[in-house]
Chain A
């Protein structure tokens, strides 16, 4: 079949239609009949053949995955190398570094997940003092929860409180209030994951910035959580911990891999949880959930101690006073020894594993060990 012969035979409309198909053809996005028709036409028509080659070459410039996940460790390496080249005039305080890293990690996760994945139910788990509980929420609601509790820190820094002025200190009540507010201002779908994500991210960057500018002046400011309070510097570590925990809840719901924090940051988190244990123990005793203290110890005096040994990434040794938060934990007073992995300890403190299921090496007073493991799980909340 000669080219000129068939070209004269072909009506003008066919050339137009076939030309309009060239893009779809180059992308292998037309039917078999159309593909065959285009390819036949290309042997006849030089202009279309030229364009076909150009469009095919253009397809070769496309590539499948644009956002390959960046290794989160790259962020700290790049930032450290920048700061070595030019020291910051306004650095991010050390105590805010875990929060900076964890919020950046969650932000990257949220940018990566697709619209459909935002609708996957996210299971939150915690320990209510006696038993594990769980609740399924949307990712947007989880982000709202993080934002509501981060708002305690915002208020302490003099930044706007997302729950509104004069809001309660209780993390759970704050969360419920923010959800109610979100529900009232539109259907959750229309309110949209994008909105929740952006609002949370704006607040978390404002917190890091606020901490950077105020630094030393605010590090010891008390932040009240209702039932207890923490110095602001610890509060940032607590918020980093919760950000990691809920980010991994979201990641699990959408089947994304999500690793632990950097070892240095994990150590801050483990250390904070360990320091909160004596108060948690006392709280359980007051609530009748733990047997009373065996001995009375004067504040500041050494008493019965549990030696908590956290192994692996972020590990270390902590001596937890068992009798009262005011007593001094010491190696000499040790009546029990508990050894567990850092990630396992965090999962326990997050209420993600029940105390009886934690992989723990134990020696010594078994009642003390059980009290401390239960107290660790009780650090978790919604």
Chain B
């Protein structure tokens, strides 16, 4: 479930967290834990680090529900940004402990940020592009099979695959992952 919840859900959740409702915390976890854990794991490449980031992120949101500003974007994008910050900090610490050079650390952080931006782009790009990419990448269909599967022309399937990858390629130099949700909507 990659898409943003309705803004009303976000605001209601924020109020319930502020009120100190443990049941709301459970619902927040159920909705976002997989996003947080996957993103952290992608940056850190290790499961126990991702577990710790997950604990930190939910701990922060639970302690500071007021820090979320609905005007700045969805709760989901805010949590994704928190996760990225936490994971990158942890990565920097881990790398400076193992005596990597500052250049190596920055290179790793750069790659991790691109990966996180890519995740975010994929989950927020227009659904037809995402569906085409999923068929070609995850299910290993060629573009003709993908076209048949999607019920579009072969031309259109080729166009979607190319456009999807073009969007994705902006992750290498794009803005921070905190970009609001219009990010992947551009054509």
Contact = CB atoms under 8 A, between A and B. Distances in A.
A13 interface: no
A92 B133 CA distance: 42
Interface stretch (B77-85, B91-99, B154-162): B154-162
Contact of A24 (B20, B34, B55, B158): B158
B3 to A, nearest CB: 13
A382 to B, nearest CB: 28
A60 to B, nearest CB: 9
Nearest to A205: B27
Contacts of B119: 66
A5 B141 CA distance: 35
B107 interface: no
Interface stretch (A69-77, A224-232, A329-337): A69-77
B163 interface: yes
A83 B137 contact: no
B14 interface: no
A67 interface: yes
B58 A23 contact: no
Nearest to A65: B138
Contacts of A212: 21-23
A61 B120 CA distance: 11
B68 interface: no
A82 B23 CA distance: 12
Interface in B112-156: 114-115, 118-119, 122, 133, 136-138, 140-144, 146, 155
A104 B1 CA distance: 15
A297 interface: no
A30 interface: yes
A88 B18 CA distance: 10
B87 interface: no
Most buried by A among B42, B51, B146, B171: B51
Given A61-B118, A89-B19, A92-B22, A55 B38 contact: no
A58 interface: yes
Given A24-B142, A24-B161, A68-B41, A59 B137 contact: yes
A63 interface: yes
A79 B25 contact: yes
A63 B138 CA distance: 8
Interface residues on A, range: 35 or more
A305 B140 CA distance: 64
Contact of B168 (A31, A58, A86, A111): A58
A208 interface: yes
B103 interface: no
Contacts of B34: 67, 70, 108
A85 B23 contact: no
B168 A23 contact: no
A78 interface: yes
B6 interface: no
A49 to B, nearest CB: 15
B118 A24 contact: no
A22 interface: yes
Contact of A58 (B63, B146, B169): B169
A22 B15 CA distance: 48
A208 B26 contact: yes
A92 B114 contact: no
B33 A29 contact: no
21 contacts: A22-B162, A23-B159, A23-B166, A29-B142, A29-B161, A31-B142, A54-B166, A55-B165, A55-B169, A58-B165, A78-B58, A79-B22, A79-B25, A79-B29, A82-B62, A83-B22, A86-B62, A87-B20, A90-B23, A91-B22, A212-B22
Given A63-B42, A209-B24, 17 more contacts: A24-B136, A29-B161, A61-B115, A62-B122, A64-B138, A70-B34, A70-B37, A75-B29, A81-B58, A82-B58, A88-B20, A104-B30, A107-B30, A108-B34, A208-B26, A212-B21, A212-B22
Q: What 5 pairs between A and B have smallest CB-CB spacing? A: A23-B162, A89-B20, A23-B161, A61-B118, A88-B22
